[in-house]
């Protein structure tokens, strides 16, 4: 069973490509998290978790979801993290989560996809992102083949030593307390009141009030709202004006 979480489509794209090779069932953690659905899941085949990297670790909402849900049938799992650049020491925290859950980790891999974090950085333009995805495709095919063949993935040791420990261990909690906040999202006159941002938000953090989106405090900075808005009517503080929105529709 393949479970993905995706803000802007990269991890969904990887999930679908792996599913096309393995023929395995695909489940959206976005939908489950949005609905507050923590029903148990059962699979005879290994569980394959696919999600972005946030602050050089699994997104906290994904980790919390996995902790809450009972997984049965197979104890074997794979974790595939998409990233804009580097997962650093994320694998250490994946191993820790596996011990907590009693999972038998068959492999971890990082797949570089286009950067989507426009609240802090810049997303590549269409030409650049197409080139990044084309490069990722070869790796996704290899990972998918290994999973289909029930092989362990090659040992992942690209954690970048002390830099990885500091980023994933010390900066990650700072990122959640100081940076991943909803304060600062606002709309412009380009809003067409279509409600898509509210539908996309996996945390139900956006409510439509008199036809306009209003952000509450429960945000994980997934970038789904700001990058998925069809009118580019959402801005974050003064950080996103004029920037390319990145959203891979799959
Ligand atoms: C809140 C946030 C934090 C991020 N942190 C990292 C990171 O630590 N390392 C990295 O390489 N990319 C980071 N990224 C980039 C995403 O992991 C990357 O673009 C990912 O493929 C997006 O996947 P999605 O489209 O499935 O949401 C971050 C993006 C966001 C929105
Ligand atoms: S998705 Fe964009 S256009 Fe639609 S309601 Fe939200 S802000 Fe407005
Ligand atoms: S408010 Fe926007 S950035 Fe925050 S969790 Fe919801 S969709 Fe993601």
pLDDT digits (tens, 9 = 90+) for 65-90: 999 999 999 999 999 999 999 999 99
Quick one: pLDDT at residue 150? 94
Query: What percent of the chain lies above the pLDDT cut of 70?
Result: 100
Indicate which ligand has the atom closest to the C-alpha of 250: 1
Which residues, 6+ apart, have CB-to-CB distance to 157 below 8 Å? none
What does the CA dihedral 174, 176, 180, 184 come to, rounded to 10 degrees? -60
Distance of CA 171 to the CA centre of its chain: 18
Pocket of ligand 3 (CB under 6 A): 182, 200-201, 203, 205-206, 215, 219-225
CB atoms within 10 A of CB 235: 21
- Taking the CA of 186 as reference, the closest ligand is 2
Mean of pLDDT values over 106-123: 98
Is the predicted pLDDT of residue 134 greater than 90, yes or no?
Answer: yes
Provide the whole-model pTM.
Answer: 0.98
Q: How far apart, in whole angstroms, are the C-alpha atoms of residue 238 and residue 241?
A: 6
The pLDDT, as a whole number, for residue 181 is 87
Is ligand 2 within 6 A of the CB of residue 187?
yes
Residue 11 alpha carbon, nearest atom of ligand 1: 26
pLDDT at 21: 98
* Mean per-residue pLDDT, 26-55: 98
Using DSSP's 3-state secondary structure scheme, residue 112 falls into: strand
Alpha helices by DSSP H, the chain: 10-22, 29-35, 60-68, 90-101, 126-148, 161-165, 172-174, 196-200, 224-228
Q: Is the CB of 85 under 6 A from ligand 1?
A: yes
Average pLDDT, the chain: 97
Distance 206 CA to ligand 3 centre (A): 8
In the chain, helix, strand, coil percent, each to 5?
35, 20, 40
Mean pLDDT of 132-140: 98
Q: 190-244, pLDDT tens digit by residue?
A: 999 999 999 999 999 999 999 999 999 999 999 999 999 999 999 999 999 999 9
pLDDT of the residue at 182: 85
Domains detected in the chain: 2-175 (3.40.50.360), 181-236 (3.30.70.20)
């Amino acid at each position: 069973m393949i479970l993905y979480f995706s803000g802007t489509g990269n991890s969904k794209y990887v999930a679908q490509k792996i599913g096309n090779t393995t023929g395995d069932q695909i489940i959206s953690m976005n939908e489950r998290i949005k609905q507050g659905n923590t029903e148990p899941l059962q699979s005879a085949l290994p569980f394959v978790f696919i999600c972005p990297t946030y602050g050089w670790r699994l997104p906290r909402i994904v980790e919390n979801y996995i902790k809450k849900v009972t997984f049965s049938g197979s104890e074997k799992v794979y974790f595939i993290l998409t990233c804009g650049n580097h997962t650093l020491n994320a694998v250490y925290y994946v191993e820790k989560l596996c011990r907590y859950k009693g999972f038998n980790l068959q492999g971890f891999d990082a797949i570089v996809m286009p950067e989507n974090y426009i609240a802090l950085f810049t997303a590549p333009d269409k030409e650049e992102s197409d080139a990044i995805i084309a490069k990722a495709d070869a790796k996704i095919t290899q990972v998918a083949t290994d999973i289909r063949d029930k092989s362990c993935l090659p040992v992942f040791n690209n954690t970048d030593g002390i830099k990885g420990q500091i980023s994933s261990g010390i900066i990650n909690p700072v990122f959640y307390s100081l940076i991943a906040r909803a304060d600062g999202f606002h709309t412009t006159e380009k809003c067409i009141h279509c409600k898509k941002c509210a539908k996309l938000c996996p945390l139900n953090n956006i409510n439509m009030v008199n036809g306009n989106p209003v952000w509450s405090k429960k945000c994980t900075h997934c970038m789904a709202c700001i990058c998925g808005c069809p009118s580019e009517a959402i801005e974050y503080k003064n950080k996103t004006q004029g920037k390319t929105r990145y959203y891979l529709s799959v």
